[in-house]
Structure 1
């Protein structure tokens, strides 16, 4: 099983700018293309810079959440500020989180790698904990040696 850890986190809030993902939840290629297109758009039109300007740290969050039976996806930051272009304030609960660390050549590759490991390997093999829904996020934490590094944070419950 890949390296992972379980970590207790305080409740936290991410301010996000989002989009609805229209691909079927099993169409990974379609979902990844939608996510890539979304990131390209928020970088080009300045919305990501607006978020970063009010952030309380340098982390960039890519949040997935089911809202009213829709698959939603957000670019977000930790902040207490408000922005007119923000579409959602995403509440993450206090509790235990599955954490998988990694690094990749690009932000997109990092997100795909971490969610693939967490949802494709760790969670299916976990005997004593499970993901039962709620928002989950990949967190881009910075760059080193030309690589993007970060973590995926998934709220879990003990079985």
Structure 2
């Protein structure tokens, strides 16, 4: 069974609050801890609620993007508004996206699971598309019967 699809998406923008990930890109445990600490921090100090208050939908984005040779991680929402806490407008290009669906008990588990499947399995298996960079995101889309569900969106190009 194929655990991904490739879909066309219009360009969209995510308003994000971000942090620089300082662990080496091969240090999965270090990156995971930095992301978890960041999410805990923005939940505790109210910045996540501030973002959610201006969102145009219920989606919560966990965005990864290389900016000026730095590995950045953002919490974000789709919105036309801005908030002082936000550090970046993240532009996702119009085009095709590799989409991996999943579900988990927590947002952190969902993000880690989708990222692991997408980058650890699917991208190495697909033959007709390739990820050539740009922002990618896990998208927490909702909850059903106490289980979170969402998707990983990775911009791709045809080989």
Instruction: Report the TM-score when normalising by structure 2.
Output: 0.98
Matches of 1:157 and 1:13 in 2, distance apart?
Answer: 19
Q: Which residue of 2 aligns with 1:28?
A: 28
* Segments of 4+ moved more than 2 angstroms: none
Matched, 1:111 2:119: no
Matched, 1:41 2:41: yes
Matches of 1:62 and 1:2 in 2, distance apart?
Answer: 24
Instruction: Report the TM-score when normalising by structure 1.
Output: 0.98
**Which string of whole-angstrom CA distances, capped at 9 and with x for unpartnered residues, describes residues 121-149 of structure 1?**
01011111100000000000111111111
1:114-153 aligned within 5 A = 114-153=114-153
**Which string of whole-angstrom CA distances, capped at 9 and with x for unpartnered residues, describes residues 76-130 of structure 1?**
0000111111000000000000000000111011001101111110101111110
2:38 is paired with a residue of what secondary structure? helix
1:82 is paired with a residue of what secondary structure? coil
Matched, 1:158 2:127: no
Structure 1: which 5+ residue stretches go unaligned? none
RMSD: 0.8
Structure 2: which 5+ residue stretches go unaligned? none
Matches of 1:123 and 1:133 in 2, distance apart?
Answer: 12
Q: Which residue of 1 aligns with 2:6?
A: 6
